[in-house]
Amino acid sequence: MNHNNKHRWPLAVALTTTLGAGGSAAAATLDDVRGQDRVRCGVNAAQPGFSALDASDTYRGLDTDVCRAVAAAVLGDAAKVHFVPLDSVERFTALQSGEVDVLSRTTTWTSTRDTTLGVNFTGISYYDGQAFLVASDLGVQSALELDGAAVCTQSGTTSELNLADYFRANGMTYEAVVFDSPEQSINGFEAGRCDVLSSDASQLHAQRMQLGDPDSAVVLPEIISKEPLGPAVRQGDDQWFNIVKWSLFAMINAEEMGITSANVDERLDSDNPDIARLLGRDGNYGEAMGLEADWAYRIVKQVGNYGEVFERNVGAGSDFGIERGQNALWTDGGLHYAPPVR
């Protein structure tokens, strides 16, 4: 999903701060993280399933577990994460300026963001797409029935452009009702300011659960955009880029190999060479990243494989019950495919 910079720093200033006079970021993020004994992770303040405070004021969600995986790999303790809540407008500035070490905040990987903001996306943690939430009593079955509708959406997001493209391509008109935050947009929808709420499907499922009566609204079947969501880091530090990237890949590979947080200790003695390499029993594939040989073992033991993370946060083990769909492994008809550890 989403967005621009709340502080509106000139890009050149942000990049100078990030990259320094020599043109490369201080390639010392790993040293900084170890020095502060925590990973500073930029997250959404309130998107249940991805990042939101639970009853004990602890951030929980798929995005937060990506950061926990990095902490487990680097510091040996998945709990050593300092979560920094960021809105959609300020998130890139926070990463550029060094306020956070990694951004894991339902953020869509686009060409502009990848090439002009001084950040690198490290992978795709959730395959998403923009959809529509409508009141159930409207009887609407398809987004193609929304000609002339008032549509609530969020400012500074990819959703605004996607809406314009979709309605124009289908010869329809709409009235945009724009809000600054997801909370304002769902409140506007519930108050009748608009007929439809449009955002990433992941966010709509979360917002639907926030309604007084979740059954009063339904998410339509159409997906009108590609929204590959994933963690991002500052450009210029390849070591840290590799660590965040391979922390995600480790969870995906572990699921493919059938390694879970419950059985990972038993699998340490596996004769399967792929498992032995992933868990650090055959070679040290963390050394080139500045990590110990058991970096991936720590991730799976403390956080789980990708399937575990998905199911407890947004899947069958959660309030949302989102089907794996595109977020299944490639071996199960989905899109998740991680390079091998070897």
At 296-324, the pLDDT tens digits run: 999 999 999 999 999 999 999 998 889 99
State both tokens at 194.
Answer: 């608009």
Contact of 11 with 222, CB cutoff 8 Å: no
Q: How many domains does the chain have?
A: 2
Query: Are 271 and 303 contained in the same domain?
Result: yes
On whether residue 89 sits in a domain, the answer given is yes
On whether residue 274 sits in a domain, the answer given is yes
Query: Are 218 and 235 contained in the same domain?
Result: no
On whether residue 318 sits in a domain, the answer given is yes
Residue 7 confidence (pLDDT): 38
Residue 181 confidence (pLDDT): 83
**Pick from 193, 209, 226: which residue ends a domain?**
226
**Pick from 196, 226, 256: which residue ends a domain?**
226
Residue 22 confidence (pLDDT): 34
Which residue pairs from 218-222 have beta carbons closer than 8 angstroms and sit at least 24 positions apart in sequence?
A: 218/133, 218/134, 218/136, 219/131, 219/132, 219/133, 220/131, 220/132, 220/133, 220/134, 220/140, 220/141, 220/142, 220/143, 221/142, 222/131, 222/132, 222/142, 222/143, 222/144
Q: What is the DSSP letter of 134?
A: E
On whether residue 132 sits in a domain, the answer given is yes
Parallel, antiparallel or unpaired: strands 130-135 and 196-200: antiparallel
Question: Which letter, b or e, does each residue of 143-166 get, where b requires 16 or more Cβ atoms within 10 Å of its Cβ?
Answer: beebeebbbbbbbbbbbbebbeeb
Query: Are 234 and 211 contained in the same domain?
Result: no
Residues, the chain, total? 342
SS3 of 178, please? Answer: strand
What does the alpha-carbon distance between residue 259 and residue 268 come to, in Å, rounded to a whole number?
10
Residues of the chain with pLDDT under 70: 1-27
Could you list the residue range(s) of the whole structural domain that residue 49 is in?
A: 29-125+230-332
Query: Are 116 and 97 contained in the same domain?
Result: yes
Compute φ and ψ for 79, nearest 5 degrees: -80, -10
Residue 4 confidence (pLDDT): 40
State both tokens at 221.
Answer: 């079947």
Q: Nearest-5° angle of CA 333, CA 320, CA 198? A: 85
Query: Are 51 and 71 contained in the same domain?
Result: yes
pTM: 0.87
Query: Are 255 and 218 contained in the same domain?
Result: no
Residue 307 confidence (pLDDT): 98
Parallel, antiparallel or unpaired: strands 227-229 and 126-128: antiparallel
Contact of 152 with 189, CB cutoff 8 Å: yes
Q: Which amino acid is at 123?
A: G
